[in-house]
Chains A and B, each alone.
Chain A
Amino acid sequence: MPLYHNDDQAMLKDSVAPFVAEQAPVAHLRSLRDSADATGFSQGLWAQFTEMGLPGMLVPEAHGGLGMGHMEAGIVLEEVGRNLTPSPFLATSVGAVAALAKAGGTQASRWLPAIASGEAIIALAIDEGAKHRPDRIATTATRAGNGFRIDGRKSFVLHGHVADMSIVAAKTDGGITLFAVPKDAKGVTADPRRLVDSSLASHVTLDGVEVDADAVIGEVDAGGDILDALLAATRTGAAAEMVGVGQGAMDMTITYLKERKQFGKLIGEFQGLQHRAAHLYGEMEVARATVMKAQQLLDEGGAGAKLMVSVAKAKAGRAANLAVREGVQMHGGIGMTDEYDIGLYMKRDRALAEFMGDVHYHIDQVARMNGY
């Protein structure tokens, strides 16, 4: 497969890009923020996503979805990033779908059709501390009656307070097991916190939560592979969204360089700024290619997918971070004002960079995967 969008993918982009830009531009995020919305995203917008068939893009056709791939999901995520659109797409339609589709079984049959129809919002309860360390899960699930009793604390759970179901990673006797914990399960408390980018993420407490045996996603003790699939998909998706955030910030900045005058000249005429802008362009293009390569390898089930996912999350993280920092700096004083959008890009980049492993985590992963 060539590493550019084929005709079908280009058509998808042509329909998704104007849709997101018109229905959920940055002003949409502002209005949610300014109204102190308690959900974290607009249900109305999610209904529109559903009309477009977007929530079930990655859901296999047998479960009512479109059976598309990560390359296609990335097209949506880039536009979501470019417009700073709050939505449950990344966690629900990418991360949760990857895990459920990989696991199959009861929980897949229960939730995948509901995701495809836009009815179910899913949260990913993986992280437990301030930094992403999925290899150090302390939450436990012990056998009790016909099922399990889950105890632990999760953090950085996007949509945790409104999700219909949370995928909870827990330690069992012989390994890691993933559980589908429904919203109304007794003993679950979600404490939503407003983050720097105005999104809401919860601290979730699981205090003696009892679930049936069929709440297990996949097999008991064998959740590692499913967790890996969830992580690979969500990280790649976050990287695609970051490419959108970086591109959005860069486009705003380049436009500004062509409009703003200082010392009697357009500031875009100054070579000092031109070279920095051109350098940023190169970094963004490399990041975009890398994210596409990771999407392609995930879609093909290719060897080296895991490595390229970490490369993509790290590279997109670096490039988008450069884009937002240069964006604020090149805008000058106005870039520091709340009124101007560029600062919102900086905030979203910070949150996405931290989500599912920051640049340093993934650079370290690359070293480990290469045996050093």
Chain B
Amino acid sequence: MSELDAFRTEVREWLAANCPAEMREPIREEGDVCWGGRNWVFKNDAQKAWLEACVAKGYTVPDWPKAYGGAGLTPEQTKILKQEMKRINARSPLDSFGIWMLGPALLQFGTEEQKVHYLNPIARGEIRWCQGYSEPGSGSDLVSLQTFGEDKGDHWVVNGSKIWTSYADKADWIFCLVRTDKANKYQGITFMLFDMESKGVTTKPILLISGNSPFCETFFDDVEVPKTQYVGEINRGWDVAKYLLGHEREMISGGGAGGDMVSIGALFAKSLGKNENGELDDPILRAEMAAFDVDVFAYRAMGERFMDMWKTGRAHPASSNMMKYVGTELNKRRHELVMSGGGSEALEWDSEETKGGARPRAWLRTKANSIEGGTSEVMLNVIAKRILDLPGA
């Protein structure tokens, strides 16, 4: 047996022993997702046990070094772990902007002290992070941001506001882009970290078309940030932000593949019924769903190739923009089909059978996919400029 086969066996056995049955069910509602943090209340004992088992094994961040709370797995081993978790439909033990975004940036740009100090709590789900990038007036055009940190020697005094800060009202700490030099557009931004309980930080949820408020407005009024709490170099926060956005896009584009391996046509054949030939009983919808399934299976192959190439440094740095563009457009298409397949039932906004209108709310939520983390149009601009090298782009 090869080493990887042996690892797969070991993982299977570990999952069989440690992943509770309740954690092998699809995510049905927001509370099923474990975000962790100082104020986290576990939904049930299984959610807690699953997180603790994964933390102990380093499996919340399997490819991070052991010193920072990971399991030190190779890319091949990480892939096997993910495959095996998917095989038993295991839920993610911990969803976290710390894991997806800040962590990779700290691993790349942080000092040894910062890595030890911040990464371990992230891996254990002790600190819930939010991201402070966009501002009113600075959406995809991040270099125009205005939140300013005034140099006071050993600390900055930060004033300004952020918008679309996901779960800022529930987060413990923020990683934030702050202008520290007004004269230099690109090289005048610093990547800072600070506690959301700092004096002068307030948040206000924004009600969206989905009826939910996952995003907030966040205000900074003379917030003091110690000079030890920045990542990378002062005024070079843009380098960190760009690196991190690559990871964010990777995460958002992952939505295109959907949560499980079930084809959308197979899913709706059950509720819509089949004709005497065993075909979904609406030929045009069947054709559209099948065409969509082709694109999803194809996109999954691209996702696998992208990750294989990304992890070994073979991917073009801007290929995450391509993944984000294709994946988010695909996810929007999925939810349009989900609404069609659901018919009038998918219109119900608040009935118990529809879990509080989960489908229409999810459909509306996906419309943000091609806006957040850089719009589809910005992604296309980046591909045109950095990959295709088109003039004047």
Q: Which A residues are closer than 8 A to B by beta carbons?
A: 2-4, 254, 257-258, 265-266, 268-269, 271, 274-275, 277-279, 281-283, 285-290, 292-293, 307-308, 310-312, 314-315, 362-364, 366-367, 370-372
Q: Which of B266, B302, B377 contacts A372, CB < 8 Å?
A: B266
Q: What residues of chain A lie closer than 8 Å to B319, measured between beta carbons?
A: 285
What is the bound-complex CA distance between A266 and B393, given in angstroms?
Answer: 11
Least distance between B73 CB and chain A CB atoms (Å): 15
Q: Which of A279, A283, A372 contacts B286, CB < 8 Å?
A: A372
Asked whether B299 is an interface residue with its Cβ less than 8 Å from the other chain, the reply is: yes
Q: What residues of chain B lie closer than 8 Å to A366, measured between beta carbons?
A: 263, 290, 293-294, 297
CB-based contact A372/B265 at 8 Å: yes
CB-based contact A363/B290 at 8 Å: yes
Asked whether B298 is an interface residue with its Cβ less than 8 Å from the other chain, the reply is: yes
CB-based contact A266/B392 at 8 Å: yes
Q: What residues of chain B lie closer than 8 Å to A292, measured between beta carbons?
A: 301, 305
Q: What residues of chain B lie closer than 8 Å to A288, measured between beta carbons?
A: 305
Q: What residues of chain B lie closer than 8 Å to A269, measured between beta carbons?
A: 390-393
CB-based contact A289/B304 at 8 Å: yes
What is the bound-complex CA distance between A51 and B301, given in angstroms?
Answer: 34
CB-based contact A265/B392 at 8 Å: yes
What is the bound-complex CA distance between A268 and B299, given in angstroms?
Answer: 27
Q: Which of A4, A277, A282 contacts B322, CB < 8 Å?
A: A282
Q: What residues of chain B lie closer than 8 Å to A370, measured between beta carbons?
A: 263, 265-266, 290, 293
Least distance between B296 CB and chain A CB atoms (Å): 9
Given the interface contacts A279-B380, A282-B326, A290-B301, does A4 sit within 8 Å of B392 by beta carbon? no
CB-based contact B391/A290 at 8 Å: no
Given the interface contacts A362-B294, A370-B263, does A278 sit within 8 Å of B269 by beta carbon? no
Majority secondary structure of chain B interface residues (helix, strand, loop or mixed) = helix
Asked whether B344 is an interface residue with its Cβ less than 8 Å from the other chain, the reply is: no
Interface residue count on the B side (C-beta < 8 Å): 46
What is the bound-complex CA distance between A372 and B274, given in angstroms?
Answer: 7
What is the bound-complex CA distance between A120 and B314, given in angstroms?
Answer: 40
What is the bound-complex CA distance between A290 and B151, given in angstroms?
Answer: 52
What is the bound-complex CA distance between A285 and B388, given in angstroms?
Answer: 13
Q: Which 9 A-B pairs have the closest CB atoms?
A: A269-B392, A372-B269, A293-B301, A278-B383, A367-B290, A274-B384, A3-B305, A2-B308, A289-B302
CB-based contact B294/A286 at 8 Å: no
- Provide a sorted-by-A list of 5 A–B residue pairs whose CB atoms are within 8 angstroms: A3-B309, A279-B325, A286-B295, A289-B304, A311-B297
Given the interface contacts A3-B301, A275-B377, does A367 sit within 8 Å of B308 by beta carbon? no
| A-B pair number, CB within 8 angstroms | 146
Interface centre among B263, B269, B384 (most CB of A within 10 A): B384
What is the bound-complex CA distance between A232 and B383, given in angstroms?
Answer: 33
Q: What residues of chain A lie closer than 8 Å to B293, measured between beta carbons?
A: 366-367, 370
Least distance between A277 CB and chain B CB atoms (Å): 6
Asked whether B387 is an interface residue with its Cβ less than 8 Å from the other chain, the reply is: yes
What is the bound-complex CA distance between A258 and B384, given in angstroms?
Answer: 11
Q: Which of A258, A279, A312 contacts B390, CB < 8 Å?
A: A258
Given the interface contacts A281-B383, A289-B298, does A257 sit within 8 Å of B390 by beta carbon? yes
Q: What residues of chain A lie closer than 8 Å to B379, measured between beta carbons?
A: 278
Given the interface contacts A286-B299, A289-B305, A311-B298, does A363 sit within 8 Å of B291 by beta carbon? yes
Q: What residues of chain A lie closer than 8 Å to B301, measured between beta carbons?
A: 3, 286, 289-290, 292-293, 308, 311
CB-based contact A278/B265 at 8 Å: no
CB-based contact B326/A286 at 8 Å: yes
What is the bound-complex CA distance between A288 and B322, given in angstroms?
Answer: 14
CB-based contact A275/B380 at 8 Å: yes
Least distance between B93 CB and chain A CB atoms (Å): 26
Q: What residues of chain B lie closer than 8 Å to A2, measured between beta carbons?
A: 308-309, 312
Given the interface contacts A277-B384, A367-B280, does A4 sit within 8 Å of B290 by beta carbon? no
Asked whether B123 is an interface residue with its Cβ less than 8 Å from the other chain, the reply is: no
What is the bound-complex CA distance between A257 and B384, given in angstroms?
Answer: 11
Q: What residues of chain A lie closer than 8 Å to B383, measured between beta carbons?
A: 278, 281-282
CB-based contact A281/B305 at 8 Å: no
What is the bound-complex CA distance between A362 and B393, given in angstroms?
Answer: 37
Q: Which of B299, B304, B306, B393 contacts A274, CB < 8 Å?
A: B393
Q: Which of B290, B304, B308, B387 contacts A281, CB < 8 Å?
A: B387
Least distance between B277 CB and chain A CB atoms (Å): 10
CB-based contact A315/B298 at 8 Å: yes
CB-based contact A3/B308 at 8 Å: yes
Q: Please give me the residue from chain B that is nearest to A276 by CB atom.
A: B380
